[in-house]
């Protein structure tokens, strides 16, 4: 490889220049408790105000894409669980959808219903926990997060009885799902869904009109609409900025076209809107689940003729995307007709949503950087891949 010309990247000059001696450079992370693991921000402060902020990635990088290019199509399915380890079922779905587009596979009705149900359950537990983490970052130590985790526990129990694993589900397959619902699962799920609005009401009673939460979040970390579109922000963060773009409506992938639900939109694009959008999206997810659970048909969950092992799609390429809880999760696959994908690319919503982190933080207090980052909703397994 010595023949390759050496590109000369200009290292970003983070150190303050001579003359403004009052500036202070702080490395927030990788061990800062608010950074969800291993994320670093190099922040330059003027007093307590942020004048420059550069995110630093790569602490958890394992070259997921290269590993996936060295294994079979099916072999990458369990590995997608590790991208956003909070929402393994939506990761499975995004990958399965891309492969189905590439190979032209049809999904049976029952499997489509199971996919919608598991994806919406995933969204419920992700949003509940995110709010818990966000409030924890604001200093409400422990209690709200534990309330959220109590609900998450119930949903993870459902995942465990369905897939055998609580977090690394590895459940979906190309053209369907791995196994059928166990006896009594639907009744159990119905019970969890019926009880969920009570939890949201309780949560909202404590938080939504809380004076401290409003003081800390309103007008903080405002994201302008034009910037949100141009920077490719997706998911609740985009909708909090007031842009109506939900892939469940736009692409109608799966069977989302059959359900009645609304897309909540924000007005100001600040941290409070991002908090509120997630509360409202949980209510919409409950609505979808209430429609999907009673209507689930009987039938096969996968075409038995689908050849999963030794799966070789025709040469070509496909880009499949879904509305994951964190934003648009896409998979781009190029096949050369072989057993492994020639190119396997994950479009990570968490990484791309961080593009505007600096824009949102400039001029804010250092304590607010923590909540702005919390409201972006990142998981480092996906950011660094």
Cβ proximity to other proteins: between 9 and 294 the closer is 9
Q: Is residue 9 a contact residue for other proteins (CB under 8 A)?
A: yes
Applying CB under 8 A, the site for other proteins has a residue count of: 52
- Least Å from the CB of residue 315 to other proteins: 7
3-state secondary structure the chain: CCCCCCCCCCCCCCCCCCCCCCEEEEEECCCCHHHCCCCEEEEEEECCEEEEEEEECCCCCCCHHHHHHCCCCHHHHHHHCCCCCCCHHHHHHHHHHHHHHHHCCCCCHHHHHHHHHHHHHHHHHHHHHHHHHHHHHCCCCCHHHHHHHHHHHHHHHHHHHHHCCCCCCCCEECCEECCCCCCCHHHHHHHHHHHHHHHHHHHHHHHCCCHHHHHHHCCCCCCCHHHHHHCCCCCHHHHHCCCCCCHHHHCCCCCHHHCCCCCCCCCCCCHHHHHHHHHHHHHHHHHHHHHHHHHCCCCCCECCCCCCCCCCCCCEEEEEEEEECCEEEEEEEEECCCCCCCEEEEECHHHHHHHHHHHHHCCCEHHHHHHHHHHHCCCHHHHHC
**Is position 307 an interface residue for other proteins (rule: CB under 8 A)?**
no
179 or 227: whose CB is closer to other proteins?
227
Q: Which of 89, 131, 354, 370 binds other proteins (CB under 8 A)?
A: 354
Stretch that binds other proteins, among 63-71, 111-119, 187-195, 202-210 (CB under 8 A): 63-71
Beta bridge partners of 19: none
* 306 touches other proteins (CB under 8 A): no
Residues 120, 151, 328, 382: which binds other proteins (CB under 8 A)? 328
Regarding 5 and contact with other proteins (CB under 8 A), the answer is: yes
Q: Is 57 in the site for other proteins (CB under 8 A)?
A: yes
Residue with tokens 């059928």: 180
Pick one of 43, 44, 87, 102: the residue that binds other proteins (CB under 8 A): 102
Task: Identify the residue among 80, 132, 332, 377 touching other proteins (CB under 8 A).
Answer: 332
Q: How far is the CB of 373 from other proteins (least distance, A)?
A: 15
Nearer to other proteins, 11 or 260 (CB): 11
96 contacts other proteins (rule: CB under 8 A): no
Residues 356 to 375: which contact other proteins by CB under 8 A? 356
Least gap, CB of 199 to other proteins (angstroms): 33
In the shown chain, the binding pattern of residues 179 to 218 toward other proteins, with x for contact by CB under 8 A and - for none, equals ----------------------------------------
Q: How far apart are CA 349 and CA 377, in angstroms?
A: 10
Site for other proteins in 221-250 (CB under 8 A): 227, 229-234, 243, 245, 250
Q: Which residues bind other proteins (CB under 8 A)?
A: 1, 3-5, 7, 9-12, 57-58, 61, 63, 65-66, 101-104, 227, 229-234, 243, 245, 250, 313-319, 321, 328, 330, 332, 334-335, 343, 345, 347, 351-352, 354-356, 384-385
């Amino acid at each position: 490889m010595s023949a390759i010309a050496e590109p000369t990247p200009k290292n970003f000059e983070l150190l303050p220049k001579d003359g403004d001696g009052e500036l202070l450079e702080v490395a927030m992370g990788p061990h800062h408790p608010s950074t969800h693991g291993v994320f670093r921000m190099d922040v330059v402060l003027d007093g307590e105000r942020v004048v420059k902020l550069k995110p630093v990635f790569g602490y958890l990088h394992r070259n997921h894409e290269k590993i996936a290019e060295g294994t079979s199509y099916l072999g990458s399915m369990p590995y997608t669980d590790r991208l956003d380890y909070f929402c393994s079922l939506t990761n499975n779905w995004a990958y399965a959808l891309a492969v189905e587009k590439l190979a032209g596979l049809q999904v049976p009705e029952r499997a489509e219903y199971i996919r919608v149900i598991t994806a919406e359950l995933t969204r419920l537990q992700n949003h509940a926990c995110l709010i818990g983490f966000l409030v924890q970052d604001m200093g409400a130590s422990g209690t709200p997060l534990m309330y959220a985790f109590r609900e998450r526990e119930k949903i993870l129990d459902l995942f465990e009885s369905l897939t055998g694993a609580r977090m690394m589900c590895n459940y979906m397959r190309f053209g369907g799902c791995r196994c059928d619902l166990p006896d009594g699962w639907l009744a159990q799920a119905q019970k969890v869904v019926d009880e969920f609005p009570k939890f949201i009401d309780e949560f909202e009673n404590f938080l939504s009109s809380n004076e401290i939460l409003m003081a800390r979040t309103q007008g903080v970390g405002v994201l302008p609409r034009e910037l949100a579109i141009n920077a490719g922000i997706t998911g609740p963060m985009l909708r909090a900025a007031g842009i109506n773009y939900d892939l469940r409506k736009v692409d109608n992938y799966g069977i989302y076209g059959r359900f009645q639900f609304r897309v909540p939109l924000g007005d100001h694009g600040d941290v409070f809107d991002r908090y509120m959008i997630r509360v409202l999206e949980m209510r919409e997810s409950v609505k979808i689940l209430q429609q999907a659970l009673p209507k689930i048909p009987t039938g096969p969950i996968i075409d038995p003729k689908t050849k999963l092992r030794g799966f070789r799609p025709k040469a070509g390429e496909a880009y499949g995307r879904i509305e994951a809880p964190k934003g648009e999760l896409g998979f781009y696959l190029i096949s050369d007709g072989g057993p492994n994908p020639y190119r396997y690319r994950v479009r990570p919503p968490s990484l791309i949503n961080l593009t505007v982190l600096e824009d949102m933080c400039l001029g804010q207090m250092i304590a607010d950087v923590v909540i702005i980052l919390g409201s972006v909703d990142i998981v480092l397994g996906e950011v660094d891949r």
